[in-house]
Amino acid sequence: MVSTAVAAAIRARAGVARQALRAAYRNGDAHAVLLAEEEWDDVRRLARAHSVLLPGGDDPREAVEGDEVEA
C-alpha cells in the first residue's frame, strides 16, 4: 500500500496532466497534445503501479470535482 502523501502527489500530478491535455485539445496545438498525452500516460502508469485510483478514471475528458467548468 502506498502512503497517503504519495497517493495525493500522484493525484495532483494527474490533475495537472488532465488540465494540460484538455487545454492542448481545446487550443488545437498538435505538439502540445503529443506532450500532454505522454505526461497523461506516464501518470496513469504511475497510478496503476501504486494502485492509486484517479478521480475521473483513466479518461482525461471525464469531469472531476474541482475541474474548471467550460462554458
Instruction: Indicate whether 26 belongs to any domain.
Output: yes
d(CA 59, CA 3): 24
Q: What is the pLDDT of residues 10-69, one digit of tens each?
A: 999 999 999 999 999 999 999 999 999 999 999 999 999 999 998 877 677 665 444 443
Instruction: Indicate whether 45 belongs to any domain.
Output: yes
Residue whose C-alpha cell is 495525493: 8
Instruction: Indicate whether 25 belongs to any domain.
Output: yes
Q: Which of 43, 42, 44, 36 is nearest to 20 (CA)?
A: 36
Instruction: Indicate whether 69 belongs to any domain.
Output: no
Number of structural domains in the chain: 1
pTM of the model: 0.78
Instruction: Indicate whether 32 belongs to any domain.
Output: yes
Which pLDDT does position 1 carry in this prediction?
64
Domain that holds residue 24: 4-49
Name, in order, each residue with C-beta under 8 angstroms of 70's C-beta and a sequence gap of 6 or more: 26
Which pLDDT does position 61 carry in this prediction?
65
Output 6 or 71, whichever has higher pLDDT.
6
Instruction: Indicate whether 39 belongs to any domain.
Output: yes
Output 22 or 71, whichever has higher pLDDT.
22
d(CA 71, CA 68): 9
